[in-house]
Amino acid sequence: MIPGDGIGTEVMPEGIRAVEAACRKFDIDISWEWFDWSCETWLKTGRMMPEDGIEQLSKFDAVYLGAVGFPTVPDHISLWGLLIPIRREFEQYINLRPVRLFEGVSCPLANKKPGDIDFYVVRENCEGEYSDIGGRIYSGSDHEVVVQQSVFTKRGVNRVLKYAFDLAHKRPRQQLASATKSNGIIHSMPFWDECVEEMATHYPQVKVDKYHIDILTANFVNKPETYDVVVGSNLFGDILSDLGPGITGTIAIAPSANINPTGDFPSMFEPVHGSAPDIAGQGIANPIGMIWSGAMMLEHLGYPEAHDSIMRAIEETLKNSENLTPDMGGKATTAQLGETIAASIRGCES
Ligand code: NAD
Ligand code: IPM
Ligand code: MN
């Protein structure tokens, strides 16, 4: 586990508390090793993680990460020095981000009830717009030019599409929405569409809709109940996976699983949110994104009953407004909400 920066260090203990409660309940052996890799470490050592950091992590079954990045260190140093290399070196090419409206959390959209918003964003996580190919010339002058290349490979697009089609195929509605911007002058987007059409021929039961990203964002707000599984490139998936939890009341409950489906390398589980410098140190961060990510980690490791027990505890706890943290309109602290969820896991029937 890498608590990281800001509220990452505050929500991590609650994530561990919930995961350990579920492990005790289901007799699962778990042991942790703690890595203090963070912006603070960079300020002391000039590195976000040691040179052999990836190698050190490779012997674990999973990585549990809080949040990375803080205003004391430029984002391109902190994120490119820790989070992004882990995703890439371990080929965690799926970023799976569920979006759900829970009973007890007030929805910013009118007339929506729990069940109306319940979908997955499947984000490509290793290539696309997140590419280090590019550069700046004439830096600082009026003639400065900055070029950024996107990289879409057939292997990279097909493997994320396959995962998304498989997921849609397993869900009752079997609907897949694909996000592109094929009407812009962007070569990669018609290519992505062609890959979707080809993949769709292998999944005749899955209903596929292709959307331009601009109207898709509007639809997320106007008719989120339309969506079941939504697949998109690295950048589009990033944006959609903040908008998704945004329409369910708070970004802070959203989890993510950075998955290497081959199992060759560890997968990584982390909340969607960042280090929240504006509230760090106050003990009021919502730990649910971290806890739900822990549930996804246990499911990934082969313990679906432990996952379900954590999810039931989250659902039950959110029904009582006394348990809500300020981002959900309540007054509870991080520790109060975390302890209530852990107690519910301990008490929950399996
Ligand atoms: P952020 O998610 O940290 O914060 C956005 C807003 O949401 C803030 O107002 C914050 O207070 C609130 N918020 C976020 N998580 C919350 C929680 N658990 N409980 C209550 N409120 C919460 O996004 P940002 O401000 O754009 O980024 C801050 C730093 O985090 C930057 O350095 C950014 O690069 C980094 N970041 C890291 C990750 C990651 O590690 N995966 C993800 C996103 C951002
Ligand atoms: C996320 C974050 C990261 C991303 C940043 C911090 C690099 O926003 O996990 O969604 O863009 O992937
Ligand atoms: Mn993001």
Domains and CATH numbers, the chain: 1-92+261-350 (3.40.718.10), 118-247 (3.40.718.10)
Question: What's the complex ipTM?
Answer: 0.99
* Whether the CB of 67 sits within 6 Å of ligand 1: yes
Residue 238 CB less than 6 A away from ligand 2: yes
Q: Name the residue of 7, 38, 275 to mutate for ligand 1: max ligand atoms within 8 A of Cβ.
A: 275
- Say how many Å lie between the CA of residue 46 and the centre of ligand 3: 25
Q: Find out whether 219 and 211 touch, Cβ atoms under 8 Å.
A: yes
DSSP per-residue codes, 49-85: S-TTHHHHHHTSSEEEEEE--BTTB-HHHHIIIIIHH
The helix/strand/coil state of 203 is coil
Query: What are 140-168's pLDDT values in tens digits?
Result: 999 999 999 999 999 999 999 999 999 99
Cα–Cα distance measured from residue 180 to residue 188, given in angstroms and rounded to the nearest whole number: 9
- Tokens 């560890």 sit on residue: 266
Asked if 125 and 92 touch (Cβ cutoff 8 Å), the reply is: yes
- Answer whether residue 349 shows pLDDT above 80: no
Evaluate: CB of 272 within 6 angstroms of ligand 2.
yes
Question: Residue whose CA is closest, atom 8 of ligand 2?
Answer: 238
Report angle CA 240, 253, 220 to the nearest 5 degrees: 30
Nearest atom in ligand 2 to the alpha carbon of residue 79 is 7
107 lines ligand 1 (CB under 6 A): no
Alpha-carbon distance of 165 to 204, in angstroms, equals 10
Contact 42, 48 (CB under 8 A): yes
* CB half-sphere exposure, 302, CA atoms < 13 A: 6
CA distance 316 to 348: 10
Q: Could you give the CA distance from residue 51 to residue 97 in angstroms, rounded to a whole number?
A: 30
pLDDT at 335 > cutoff 60: yes
Decide if 240 contacts 136 (C-beta within 8 A): no
Q: Residue 348 has what pLDDT?
A: 58
**pLDDT score, position 350:** 44
Q: Which of 7, 39, 78, 79 to mutate to test the pocket of ligand 2 (most atoms within 8 A of CB)?
A: 79
The answer to whether residues 314 and 102 touch, using CB atoms and an 8 Å cutoff, is yes
Q: What is the pLDDT of residues 58-109, one digit of tens each?
A: 999 999 999 999 999 999 999 999 999 999 999 999 999 999 999 999 999 9
CA of 75, nearest ligand number: 1
Query: Contact at 8 Å (CB) between 3 and 38?
Result: yes
**44 Cα–ligand 3 center, Å:** 27
| Backbone torsions φ then ψ of 231, nearest 5 degrees | -115, 140
Average pLDDT, the chain: 97
Ligand 3 center from residue 261 Cα (angstroms): 21
Task: Supply the pTM of this predicted model.
Answer: 0.97
Phi, psi of 51 (to 5 degrees): -55, -35
